[in-house]
């Protein structure tokens, strides 16, 4: 059987197994093992364990459970709520300030946790009720949190970027730095839309009130004194200091990513013990159990995805697919568009982890041959995968929001995220026109490649 036919069969079988409802890790492992049995030498089955172990024996992957522990310690303690409250107090006078506060809180929490669902859950559980209490429409409130949560896989330390660095064999430090500029760009775009939308909803509420309607909470004048604002800082500053310290240790060359992750996790545990008195085994148990469950699930998916990619490579499926893309003789920008469209389609039903590990062997060789910077592409691909996290029908963040705000209709959540999808598309276009948004910062600090 030629590689093209084998590749089509491989893809069709994968889709059938996945749509059967089987968990992704089991589905990928089952398909890979099945094709090893039927299309590879019998002895290859004896090497499954060895192949998975060798593929996962990466010091970079060691940082994933440690970053997850740091995020769990902050997210499951009152730190996320206090961070949000402090930002809101300082921005409440700005039009749409509550929405901006949620975007900034998501960005800062994402930079500490590195996880999109964790960011949505931690900030959304406090932010959505507060926004709705102050008159924000349910869809708008849900959209801000769902979109803000996607920053968790773009701003460092991003678990998704760690995996891309391993799959693409690129510098993790340079990739982390490349995510900062686009991350700030998205924060600005989301904040700008929050101001526009809040002003529009305020005008509608004011007009309805003038015509004899019910007074919306939008029209209430909330006030925080300077002393109240200052009182909120002592609980927030230690965690901001932790974020800055981790970044300095990583980018200053004082520690490797794994050492930085360990340092961040340890300091996060120390801080919640000092600031919130969370130190007893019964209090720490939820953080530890959450970390073990999420890390095990994620690493199992990674292991099976790497086995899946190994089988693709052995059967020359990935090489043939890459050559087929090259043989289409597309212009470099058309090539990029086709590949990003593939990422979007895969994002409808696969998480970013699986997309990276399954697609990178196929798409990176043609992109590199076309002259694209793989660090820059990693950032662009991450933003496109972010779109998948809030894009129906299977956007993970949509269901996280539905879980923490069950009274908001799913239809409202979906319509609420649509403007943010357009803003992310704008960010991708800007990155294509001005690649320096991603590349300038790493080139400045680490030198031009």
Query: Are the C-beta atoms of residues 37 and 353 closer than 8 Å to each other?
Result: no
Beta-carbon contacts of residue 439 (< 8 Å; ≥ 6 apart): 178, 373, 375, 376
Beta-carbon contacts of residue 1 (< 8 Å; ≥ 6 apart): 9, 39
Residue 371 clears pLDDT 60, i.e. is over it: yes
Tally of residues, the chain: 449
- Cα-Cα-Cα-Cα dihedral sign, residues 170, 171, 177, 183: positive
CA R_g for the chain: 23
Residue 234 clears pLDDT 60, i.e. is over it: yes
Indicate the DSSP class of residue 152.
G
- Collapsing DSSP states into helix, strand and coil, what is residue 397? helix
- Cα separation, 150 vs 352, in Å, equals 11
**Mean pLDDT across 402-420:** 86
pLDDT of residue 423: 94
**Mean pLDDT across 259-272:** 84
pLDDT band at 148 (very low <50, low <70, confident <90, very high): confident
Alpha-helical segments (H) within 252-280: 257-276
pLDDT of residue 114: 64
What b/e readout covers 280-293, taking b as 16+ CB neighbours within 10 angstroms? eeeebeebeebbee
**Mean pLDDT across 251-263:** 76
Residue 219 clears pLDDT 60, i.e. is over it: no
- Cα separation, 17 vs 24, in Å, equals 9
Predicted TM-score (pTM) of the model is 0.76
Predicted confidence (pLDDT) per residue in 9-56, tens digit: 888 888 888 778 788 788 888 998 999 988 888 888 887 887 777 767
pLDDT band at 214 (very low <50, low <70, confident <90, very high): low
- Cα separation, 246 vs 237, in Å, equals 14
Q: Identify which of 181-190, 215-224, 227-236 has the greatest average pLDDT.
A: 181-190
- Cα separation, 246 vs 134, in Å, equals 35
CB atoms near residue 242 (< 10 Å): 20
**Mean pLDDT across 75-96:** 74
- Cα separation, 151 vs 187, in Å, equals 8
Measured distance between the N- and C-terminal CA atoms of the chain, rounded to whole angstroms = 42
Query: Are the C-beta atoms of residues 357 and 159 closer than 8 Å to each other?
Result: no
Nearest to 96 by CA among 220, 185, 200, 221: 200
Residue 258 clears pLDDT 80, i.e. is over it: no
Of the listed ranges 208-212, 230-234, 343-347, 402-406, the one predicted with least confidence: 208-212
């Amino acid at each position: 059987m030629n590689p093209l036919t084998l590749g089509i069969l491989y893809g069709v079988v994968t889709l059938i197994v996945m749509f059967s409802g089987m968990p992704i890790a089991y589905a990928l492992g089952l398909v890979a093992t099945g094709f090893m049995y039927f299309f590879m030498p019998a002895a290859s089955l004896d090497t499954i364990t060895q192949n998975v172990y060798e593929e996962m024996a990466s010091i970079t992957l060691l940082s994933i459970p440690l970053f997850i522990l740091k995020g769990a310690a902050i997210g499951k303690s009152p730190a996320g709520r206090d961070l949000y409250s402090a930002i809101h107090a300082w921005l409440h006078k700005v039009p749409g300030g509550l929405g901006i506060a949620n975007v900034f809180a998501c960005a800062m929490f994402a930079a500490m946790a590195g996880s999109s669902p964790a960011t949505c859950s931690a900030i959304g559980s406090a932010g959505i009720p507060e926004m709705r209490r102050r008159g924000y429409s349910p869809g708008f409130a849900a959209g801000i949190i769902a979109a803000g949560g996607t920053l968790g896989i773009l701003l460092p330390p991003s678990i998704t970027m760690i995996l891309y660095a391993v799959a693409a064999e690129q510098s993790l430090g340079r990739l982390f730095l490349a995510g900062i500029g686009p991350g700030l760009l998205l924060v600005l775009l989301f904040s700008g839309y929050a101001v526009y939308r809040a002003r529009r909803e305020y005008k509608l509420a004011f007009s309805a009130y003038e015509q004899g309607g019910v007074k919306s909470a939008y029209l209430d004048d909330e006030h925080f004194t300077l002393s109240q604002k200052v009182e909120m800082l002592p609980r927030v500053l230690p965690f901001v200091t932790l974020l800055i310290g981790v970044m300095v240790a990583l980018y200053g060359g004082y520690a490797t990513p794994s050492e930085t992750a360990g340092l961040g996790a340890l300091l996060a545990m120390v801080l919640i013990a000092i600031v919130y008195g969370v130190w007893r085994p019964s209090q720490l148990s939820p953080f530890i159990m959450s970390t073990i469950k999420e890390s095990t699930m994620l690493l199992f998916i990674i292991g099976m995805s790497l086995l899946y990619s190994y089988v693709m490579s052995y059967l020359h499926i990935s090489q043939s697919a890459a050559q087929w893309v090259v043989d289409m003789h597309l212009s470099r920008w058309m090539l990029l568009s086709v590949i990003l469209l593939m990422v979007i389609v895969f994002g409808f039903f696969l998480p970013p982890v699986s997309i990276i590990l399954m697609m990178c062997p196929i798409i990176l060789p043609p992109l590199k041959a076309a002259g694209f910077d793989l660090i820059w592409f990693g950032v662009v691909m991450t933003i496109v995968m972010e779109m998948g996290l809030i894009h129906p029908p299977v956007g993970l963040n949509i269901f996280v929001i539905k879980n923490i705000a069950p009274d908001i209709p799913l239809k409202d959540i979906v319509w609420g995220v649509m403007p943010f999808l357009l803003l992310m598309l704008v960010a991708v276009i800007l990155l294509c026109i001005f690649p320096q948004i991603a590349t300038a910062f790493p080139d400045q600090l680490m030198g031009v490649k």
